[in-house]
A and B are shown apart, each in its own frame.
Chain A
Amino acid sequence: MLPVYYYLGLAIILFTIGALGVLIRRNAIVIFMSVELMLNAANLAFVAYARYWQSMNGQIFVFFIMTVAAAEVAIGLALIVTIFRTKASIDVDQISTLKG
């Protein structure tokens, strides 16, 4: 059985990629995907620890996170579609009407 920090290491890498994707990319879809990546990194960490501690709590959390992620995706995609309809672009830097 693989030690738990292998899973953790993968989770950290995934989270970092996701975070960097959120911060660096301008395409709303990609950012969305990066957010999913970060959520799934967290899921992975939960699942790994759940297995490590022989506890079901972590796994229950994962179900919640997946539900939240699904809801988020549903709303997020709807927003993106609407933004695209008005702006004809999904570049988040183009959407800066609230600039101070």
Chain B
Amino acid sequence: MLFNAANTGGFFYLVPFLVFFPVIGLLINITLGGRMGEKAIGAIACLASGLSFVIAVLLGLALLGRPEGVVVPYLNWITIGNLQLDWAFRVDTLSVTMMLVVGGVGTLIHIYAVGYMHEDVRHNDDPGRYRRFFVYFNLFIAAMMILVSANNYMMLFIGWEGVGLCSYLLIGFWYEKGKDGIGNALAGNKAFITNRIGDFGFLIASFLMFKYFQPLAANGVFSFDFDSVATIAKQVPQGVILAITLFTLLGVTGKSAQLPLYVWLPDAMAGPTPVSALIHAATMVTAGVYLIARSHAIYSLVPVAQNWVAIVGAVTALFAATIAVAQFDIKKVLAYSTISQLGFMVAAVGMGAFVAGMFHLVMHAFFKALLFLSSGSVIQGIERGEHLVEHDPTLHKRMKHEGHFDPQDMRNMGGLRHKMKTTFWVYLVGALALAGIVPLAGFWSKDEILAEASTLNPAIYWLLIIAAFFTAFYMGRQIFMVFFGDPRSEPAAQAKESPAVMTIPLIILALLSIVGGFLNFPTLHTFTTWLEHTIQVVAEGATGGEAVAGGFNIVVAILSTVLALGAITIAWYLYMRRSQDMLKLPLNKRADDPLRPILGPIFTLLENKYWVDELYGYLVIKPYQWLSKFLAEKVDWDFWHDFFHDTILAGGFNGATRLLSGPVDLGIIDGIANFLGDGFKELAAQMRKLQTGFVRNYALSIFIGVVFIIGYLIIRLG
């Protein structure tokens, strides 16, 4: 069990600075950034992120002496009746692993972004937005650190939403650009709204948790913290746990881009490339995997839910890998690859292979960040070439393209290995790591998942094996299309290598992608031992000793390597040989992709991503928009506004006012007043006539009066 930080040594008390440093960095950049140069802004942002990483390293060192982990209470956050939420940081091997990834990869991407954004803001004609980018980036690091260091589900949810916000802000970073000047903004909306659906699942799961866990909590006060949830879960009915885990899975499919909510991630590539690398590949999208690993105690109780998680992951892995085969946008390929790899991780944690999933998460963070950043380098290299071509009349004439030139389209690339040597080599490392070629990072982590799957669930195993084949194929295709052959456009021929501030992080990530796999080398199991302090089960009940000890199966390893090499060979054949052959064909018969004539309609199907976006468009978005339109125009405008408000309320009020002011006020009230006034006036006019002024009249009146009074007295008394 965990102990309080108060009576422990080490650097645990530093943990709040994981969040504070990025926040301080972004505050400095918000307040003073306007007066500072780009260099200072970038330096502060990198420093903030880097200090966070240093804290993460110190925490890791401290954990060596206390591997069972520590909870550092910081604030009493919310106390309402039976609910008590603390702002407490959880430092254990699992969270520190994530902190190291977020801090380490995050810092490298920050450094890269210093160079990348310098050109990007100029390419997009708004250098002032440089500061905004780093503010968002630091905010992301802070939110992600909250997410991974949370000790309870609600604090985790704050981070979960925080990273979602940053994702939205950064996808729409160039919000006025993109298709029709609104494409990027729409992509941001799509990501945010899709994630709302997932978050709905997360919230429902939390509500269920509170409803059923709170009565069983100690003293009846429920705190949502992971330890108490794990303890109480054993006493809660299976059905409830199943519902909680499945609703959590919905949250995971949103955040980690799994079926059926993966659709936002490819569109999220509208953000600048460092964003794609940091948020949409290395860290934020893995939050779902982390969440399941974090919730391993409740998932382990319900095999049905675990199966669903594994199925969702494996199907997504294969589904996205096939789509990636037929994409032409260099970043879209990587986006579908990310979805596919996240599928691997989700499948792994679903099967109970939490360590394998987390291991792949870390390795994927290395090589996918590397790939994205390299693709950013490629894109900017081509943009530099484009810039050169546009300003050189002789080259400009040779431009075959009329109209818009897409620097991300792989059909416009080719032959870049001569122009961008560093980028090529690091890209190759990343691609081979992703393809799972021994001895790179992806090989070890993917094979650990495959080995676990081969013993735990054969169906999942075969799905993943096929997905791994496609992975190797599309990465081979990408490498050959981008870096080999001859340049297929003038900008590609004139491409220039990126500056050192961008290539050095790439080299570091490439080194990590090469050596990272040895973190959990089959005979050493450093990473397994490390994580076992937090995740005790590691599916040992289900697999027996072998899988736990091994996590590596030589047959599986050979099979997957052979498949990967085979896939790369096919890619080589198609995109080197066939492409050369195709060049001999006349221009109008030349396909843009050698696969297109071979696969025919299937290629079109894949190129259009199985028309899932269109399907969702017709099934969900169109009816929803129709409903919105109906509600807005018919119900709200026509009924509520025109009919209810204008006709009934306003009309009725006007009518009532008119009635009250007209007949009632003017007629009755004024009528009474006027009648009284007129009556008295009339009476007075009549009475006036009595005042004749003739003394004798008065005398007569008095006389008659006297006669009457005397007469009365006589009758009365007499």
Contacts and interface: CB of A to CB of B under 8 A. Distances in A.
Contact of A23 (B688, B691, B692, B703): B703
A93 B694 contact: yes
Nearest to B689: A100
B692 A100 contact: yes
A97 interface: yes
Q: Which of A19, A26, A97, A100 has the most CB of B within 10 A?
A: A100
Interface string B676-717: 000000000001111111111001100100000000000000
Contact of A98 (B691, B699, B703): B691
Interface in B390-436: none
The 5 A-B residue pairs with the shortest CB-CB distance, nearest first, are A100-B691, A96-B693, A99-B693, A100-B688, A92-B695
Interface residues of B, number: 13
A95 interface: yes
B701 to A, nearest CB: 10
A22 interface: yes
B694 A92 contact: yes
A93 B694 CA distance: 5
A54 B384 CA distance: 151
Interface residues of A, number: 14
A23 B694 contact: no
Nearest to B692: A99
B700 A97 contact: no
B693 A100 contact: yes
Interface string A14-35: 0000010011101000010000
Nearest to A92: B695
Contacts of B695: 31, 92, 95
B692 A96 contact: yes
25 contacts: A19-B703, A22-B696, A22-B699, A22-B703, A23-B696, A23-B699, A24-B696, A26-B696, A31-B695, A92-B694, A92-B695, A92-B696, A93-B694, A95-B695, A96-B693, A96-B694, A97-B693, A98-B691, A99-B693, A100-B687, A100-B688, A100-B689, A100-B691, A100-B692, A100-B693
Given A100-B690, A100-B693, 17 more contacts: A22-B696, A22-B703, A23-B699, A23-B700, A23-B703, A31-B695, A31-B696, A92-B695, A92-B696, A93-B694, A95-B693, A96-B692, A96-B693, A97-B693, A98-B691, A98-B693, A100-B688
A21 to B, nearest CB: 10
A70 to B, nearest CB: 21
Contacts of B687: 100
Interface in A67-100: 92-93, 95-100
B67 to A, nearest CB: 117
Contacts of A22: 696, 699, 703
Contacts of B691: 98-100
Contacts of B692: 96, 99-100
Contacts of A26: 696
A96 B690 CA distance: 12
